Every structure is written in C-alpha cells, then in structure tokens.
C-alpha cells in the first residue's frame, strides 16, 4: 500500500500456533496514528489473536512487534498500557458492584502508603470522563450505567495513561444501541484528532466504510489484502474476506431418486429482546444433494442448524425427517434418526481434548460395538481403522491424544465420528474453517461422496467459492430470513452477495456475533 504516513505500531511476520491450529501465519500489520485502522475477517481468521498479541495478552510464536520503530515485548496488558497501548474488549471487563472511579483505577489505585486516595481518583476520573462524555458521575455504581456509558468508562480507563498512542477496540458496537453507536463514533473522531491510532475490529461492514481509514483483511491466519477505505466498497471487502481459492471438486451425481429426506416449515427461533434469530425458515433437503446455507456472520445460519439438531428447545416449527414428523427434536433423538451436526467450533463442541483419536471417533457409536454391554475391542479397532483409512486421516497411532493432530485432521475426526454413527443427514457448520487447503479439499470431496451415496448434506459456509464449487443448491440467509434459493447456474457470486446483503442494513441482528447454546 502506498502511503505517506509513518506507522506508530507495526507487527512484522507474526506467527502464532495453538494446539491443533495455526492462528496466524507470517502476518504484517501497520497501525497509523490519527487513523482508524480496521482489522477484518470471518470468525477464526485470526483477528482476535493478532489483537491479543498487540495488546500483550498473548506472545507470538514468531515475529516481532514494533512501537515507534523500536521492538517491544509486552509481558502483559499492564506493560502494554504503560507503553501507551490500550485495549477495549468486546466483553466489558468491569465490576458492576464497584463505583465508576474504582473501576477505572482497578489494579492501579492512587494510594498514600497503601490507603486508596479516592478524592484524587475522582478528580482524575472526572477529568478524563468529561473529555469523553460529560455527565458520568465517578461515584456512581457501575451497574447503574447504561451499556454505552459503561463502554465509555472502558475507554476512559485506557485514557488514564497520559501517553495513549494506540487504542484497540474489539467489536465495540456489538452491544450498543444506535444512539450509543453515534456517541462512540463521535468519540472516535475526537481520539483521531488527538493523534491516537485506533485499531478497530468489527463484523459490521457498513461501519467500516463509514469510520475506517485503512483496512486489513485476514483470512485463515493470513493477511490477504489491505487498502485505504476511500478506494473500496463493501463488495470488495466481502470478496476478500471470503476468498478466491481455486477449488475444483467433481460433483459425482447421485443415481437414485431425489426424494426429500427432510422438510422443515416455519422454523423460528425468537431472540431475547425481540425479533428473530431464525425467522420462519422453510426448506426441503433431498437425497443426494449438497445444500449450501450461505450468509454473513450472525445471519442465523448456525442457529438454524442448531435448532434442527434440537439444541434450542425454545424454537418452533415443524420438521419431517425421513417420513417421520418430529414435534420436539432432541439431540439423542436426532442422532438416532441419523441426523448429525459437525459443529462450527470444533474445539469447544466437537472434540473431547482429553481423549485419544480412537475414543473421539467412537464417542457416538461405541454402544454399537458391544456384546452384552462389554466393549468389543477388536470390533472398535476394526471400525476405527476403517474410518481412518476411508477418510484419509493422517495419524501415526489412533491411541495418541486428539490434540496431537493438525486442525484439518481433527476436523476429519469430528466428521468421522458422524460417519461411524451411520448418519443419513449431515449438517456441517463451517467445516472448512481454520484448516489448510489440502484438508479443505478432502472434506469437500467427502461431502460430495456422502451425497452420492444417497445422503442429504447441508453445508453452512461463508466462503463464496467453496459454496459455489461444492453445492447443488444454495439457500442464502440474512438477518434470520432465507432470502434466496438458488440452484444450478443461478449460483453466482453476484447473486449470493446480493442476497446476503438483502437484509443487512435494515436490522442490527445480522451483525450480532456468536450464538448461545443451552
């Protein structure tokens, strides 16, 4: 990128490994003073990890961080803030039962020989708070403040440091009302005017266009693009976020009848505080079909498949699965009927990290391999070896811990577990997230194979190319609603992007991240 500015902070060649995943691979990132430096990417792209490294929460496995041209190694956030690098987390780190001023000085209390000097604290707090938004009383209890005000206190906390240079904001608008967002944006303008560099992380593309100056896009732990915001559009961002991998997967046709395996009508999941996370969704899945569900973060895709699996008892709608009408799905019931879910977050929901590869594969199906209630070791071994071979899981020994595998192979284990449970309907939520290209291709070939064997496959994805390459039919979801049902040649990037943005600006819902599973 051509620019005349000198960065205040730079990350050079950052690599970060976690057990099972490469979170960042050789990433460079420059932060310019007096500008909003946007960091964007889908979940798992590595934004949070990069942010944590800059703020001193995590240490990079390789690479270095420069501040004002000098290399720095922050041991913790305290040290980082001492150097003028502050961070505001998405989850506010505040103590609701403490006063505003005590919150601001928590951990760095002004004291006289160990006795807190509340007067001076209050004075300092007012000085900073008034600069941001007058009217917050420093002796008010934190819990009495509105979320927007609480966020201002968080910002004020970082501004107590005299020499604040870089302020990292992780999804600062995710819990704010529209009016509060306006206040925040005004505040950001003020901070810019003071020459402070803002690192801004958000999923809300319209916000980025509005307040961003520079944008850096991460995908799968790699930096894929950066640009000045004035030169780009939302579509440009989406294209780069979701990728241009050159995938070719042979769509092996299914020879049998394309009869329906599952029909759902009016599936609805109400959201706390009004509206719907899943808004009256209806569709049919056929035998031998890979059905894509495309949409941006928070469009309700994950929640939709979770409802079908029985994870949200408060959802309503009717489901006919293999000819049987199911009023109230339960996880065990759905698995018994042959429906499986490969969850979005394989570390949290897919794997038991303390168990071996073999035992993870056997999690669901182990009761099949028993005689009079006793596990038949030989049968288990045969079945596991067969699955490992069939799915080309690269293992040295199936008795090793699951965490010894790479992300792609871990994902294959999660899918293998479903295969061993004799699944007929595969619902795969972002199965290609955070794994290398080779493993991705393997997993797409597997999906086509499941379909060719006469199963129904649902592929929830956010990478356009992947969806287009793998699916026979694509449903597009936006703000909880299904906005398009495309098949064959109708499935184009333009059509998908248009449909996924169809509801984007009308509601806030489409950008609230994450899902809550009871």
Partner 1 sequence: MSTAKQAKPQTQVSLGMLLLKGRTFIALAILLIFFSFRAPNFTEWGSVVLMVKHASIYGLLALGMTMVIITGGIDLSVGSIVGLTGMMAGGMLIEGIHLPWIAGTIYPNVPLILLIVFALAVFVGFCSGQLIARLKVPAFIATLGAMYICRGAAMLRSGGATFPNLFGDAAKGNLGFDLIGAGSIPGVDVPYSIIIFIVMALIAAFIMKKTPLGNQIYAVGGNERAAQLSGIKINKVKVFVYIFSALLAAMSGIIMTSQLRAAHPANGESWEMNAIASVVLGGTSMSGGVGTIGGTIIGVAVITVLNDGMIMMGVSSFWQMVIKGVVIIVAVVIDLVQKDLQKKAALVARLK
Nearest-approach distance from CB 369 to partner 1, in angstroms: 8
Distance CA 282, CA 292 (A): 14
Other beta carbons within 10 angstroms of residue 67's beta carbon come to 20
Tell me the window of 268-276, 318-326, 352-360, 498-506 that interacts with partner 1 (CB under 8 A).
352-360
- Which residues in 433-492 contact partner 1 (CB under 8 A)? 436
Q: CA angle at residue 45 from 43 to 51, to 5 degrees? A: 95
Least gap, CB of 26 to partner 1 (angstroms): 13
* Interface region with partner 1, contact rule CB under 8 A, candidates 73-81, 97-105, 224-232, 341-349: 341-349
Listed ranges 154-162, 277-285, 364-372, 493-501: which one lies at the site for partner 1 (CB under 8 A): 364-372
Asked if 49 and 105 count as a contact pair (C-beta separation under 8 A), the reply is: no
The token pair at 404 is: 């010894």
Are 473 and 312 in contact by the 8 Å Cβ rule? The answer is no
Rounded Cα distance, 169 and 91, in Å: 11
Cβ at position 391, least distance to partner 1 in Å: 13
CB of 32 to partner 1, least distance (A): 32
Please report where in the chains the tokens 């035992």 appear, as a residue. 359
81 binds partner 1, rule: CB under 8 A: no
Residues 69 and 149 sit within 8 Å (Cβ to Cβ): no
374 binds partner 1 (CB under 8 A): yes
Enumerate residues 16-35 that contact partner 1 by CB under 8 A. 17, 19, 22
Please report how close the Cβ of residue 440 comes to partner 1 at its closest, in angstroms.
Answer: 14
Other beta carbons within 10 Å of 328 = 10
Name the minimum Å distance from CB 12 to partner 1.
Answer: 18
Of the ranges 66-74, 165-173, 394-402, 441-449, which one interacts with partner 1 (CB under 8 A)?
394-402
Residue 466 vs residues 31, 44, 329: alpha-carbon distances, Å: 32, 16, 30
421 binds partner 1 (CB under 8 A): yes
What is the size of the binding site for partner 1 (CB under 8 A)?
46
The binder of partner 1 chosen from 23, 169, 319, 362 (CB under 8 A):
362
- SS3 of 254-295: the string is CCCCCCEEEEEEEEEEECCCCCEEEEEEEEEEECCEEEEEEC
Residue 6 C-alpha from the chain's centroid: 31
Shortest reach from residue 352's CB to partner 1, in Å? 4
- Determine, following the binding rule CB under 8 A, whether residue 255 of this chain makes contact with partner 1: no
Please select the residue that binds partner 1; options are 263, 284, 316, 403, rule is CB under 8 A. 403
HSE-up of 469 (CA within 13 Å, CB side)? Answer: 20
CB of 310 to partner 1, least distance (A): 10
If phi > 0 it is left, if psi is from -120 to 50 it is alpha, else beta; for residue 141 that is beta
Contacts (Cβ under 8 Å, ≥6 apart) of 141: 96, 97, 98, 99, 100
| Residue 138 tokens, joined | 């420093």
How far apart CA 300 and CA 296 sit, in angstroms, is 9
Question: Does 352 contact partner 1 by CB under 8 A?
Answer: yes
Candidate ranges 29-37, 145-153, 290-298, 402-410; the one touching partner 1 (CB under 8 A): 402-410
| Position 349 contacts partner 1 (CB under 8 A) | yes
Closest CA to 451 of 253, 294, 262: 253
Residue placing its CB nearer to partner 1 in the complex, 300 or 416? 416
H or E element, residue 428? strand 425-429
Beta bridge partners of 262: 285, 321
Selected binder of partner 1 within 3, 282, 370, 379 (CB under 8 A): 370
- Shortest distance, position 206 Cβ to partner 1, whole Å: 33
Interacting residue with partner 1 among 373, 378, 488, 494 (CB under 8 A): 373
Among 287, 417, 433, 448, binds partner 1 (CB under 8 A): 417
CB of 343 to partner 1, least distance (A): 6
Given strand 36-40, what is the order of strands in its sheet? Answer: 85-88, 166-170, 197-201, 36-40, 214-219, 222-228
Does residue 379 belong to the site contacting partner 1 (CB under 8 A)? Answer: no
Task: Indicate the helix (H) or strand (E) that contains 69.
Answer: none
- What are the Cα distances from residue 48, in Å, to 121, 153, 170, 218? 32, 22, 8, 11
Min CB(370)–partner 1 separation in Å: 6
Q: Which one of 27, 65, 326, 351 is in contact with partner 1 (CB under 8 A)?
A: 351
218 contacts partner 1 (rule: CB under 8 A): no
Task: Give the nearest distance from C-beta 360 to partner 1 in angstroms.
Answer: 9
Cα 307 from Cα 516, distance rounded (Å): 12
H or E element in which residue 321 lies: strand 316-321
Considering only the stretches 35-43, 216-224, 297-305, 355-363, report the one whose residues sit in contact with partner 1 under the rule CB under 8 A.
355-363
Please say which residue, 127 or 394, places its beta carbon nearer to partner 1. Answer: 394
Task: Using the minimum distance from each CB to partner 1, give the nearer residue, 165 or 433.
Answer: 433
Residue 69 CB: number of other CB atoms within 10 A?
10
**Which residues lie near partner 1 (CB under 8 A)?**
17, 19, 22, 61-62, 309, 311, 331-332, 335-336, 341, 343, 348-355, 359, 362-364, 366-367, 370, 373-375, 394-397, 400-401, 403-406, 409, 417, 421, 436, 517
């Amino acid at each position: 990128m051509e620019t005349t500015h000198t960065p205040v902070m730079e990350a050079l060649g950052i690599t970060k490994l976690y057990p099972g995943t490469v979170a960042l691979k050789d990433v460079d990132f420059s932060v310019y003073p007096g500008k909003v430096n946007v960091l964007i990417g889908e979940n798992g792209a590595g934004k949070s990890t990069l942010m944590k490294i800059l703020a001193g929460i995590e240490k990079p496995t390789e690479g270095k961080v420069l501040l004002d041209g000098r290399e720095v190694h922050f041991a913790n956030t305290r040290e980082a803030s001492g150097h003028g690098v502050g961070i505001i987390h998405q989850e506010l780190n505040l103590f609701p039962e403490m006063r505003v001023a005590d919150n601001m000085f928590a951990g760095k209390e002004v004291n006289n020989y160990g006795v807190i000097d509340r007067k001076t604290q209050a004075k300092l707090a007012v000085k900073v708070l008034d600069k941001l938004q007058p009217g917050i009383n420093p002796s008010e209890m934190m819990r009495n403040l509105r979320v927007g005000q609480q966020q201002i206190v968080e910002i004020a906390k970082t501004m107590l440091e005299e020499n604040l240079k870089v302020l990292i904001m992780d999804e600062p608008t995710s819990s704010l009302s529209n009016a509060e967002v306006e206040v925040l944006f005004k505040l950001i303008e003020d901070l810019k005017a003071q020459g402070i560099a803002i690192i801004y992380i958000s999923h809300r593309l319209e916000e980025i266009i509005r307040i961003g100056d520079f944008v850096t896009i991460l995908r799968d732990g790699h930096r894929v693009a950066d640009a000045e915001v004035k030169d780009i559009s939302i579509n440009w961002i989406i294209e780069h976020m979701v990728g241009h991998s050159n995938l070719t997967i042979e769509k092996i046709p299914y020879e049998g009848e394309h009869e329906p395996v599952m029909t759902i009508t009016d599936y609805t999941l109400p959201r706390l505080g009004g509206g719907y996370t899943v808004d009256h969704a209806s569709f049919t899945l056929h035998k031998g079909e890979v059905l894509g569900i495309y949409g941006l973060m928070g469009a309700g895709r994950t929640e939709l498949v979770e409802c079908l699996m029985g994870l949200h008892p408060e959802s309503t709608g009717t489901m006919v699965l293999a000819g049987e009408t199911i009023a109230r799905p339960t996880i065990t019931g759905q698995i018994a009927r042959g429906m499986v879910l490969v969850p979005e977050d394989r570390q949290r929901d897919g794997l038991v990290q303390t168990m071996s590869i073999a035992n993870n594969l056997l999690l669901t199906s182990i009761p099949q391999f028993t005689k009079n209630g006793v596990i038949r070791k030989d049968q288990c071994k045969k079945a596991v070896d067969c699955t490992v071979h069939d799915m080309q899981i690269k293992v040295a020994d199936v008795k090793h811990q699951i965490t010894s595998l790479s992300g792609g192979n871990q994902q294959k284990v999660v899918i293998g577990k479903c295969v061993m449970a004799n699944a007929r309907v595969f619902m795969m939520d972002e199965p290609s997230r955070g794994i290398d290209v080779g493993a991705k291709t393997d997993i797409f070939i597997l999906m086509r194979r499941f379909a060719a064997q006469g199963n129904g496959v649902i592929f929830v994805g956010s990478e356009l190319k992947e969806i287009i390459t793998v699916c026979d039919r694509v449903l597009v979801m936006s703000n909880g609603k299904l906005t398009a049902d495309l098949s064959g040649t109708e499935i184009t990037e333009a059509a998908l992007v248009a449909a996924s943005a169809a509801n984007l600006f009308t509601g806030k819902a489409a950008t609230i991240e994450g899902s809550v599973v009871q």
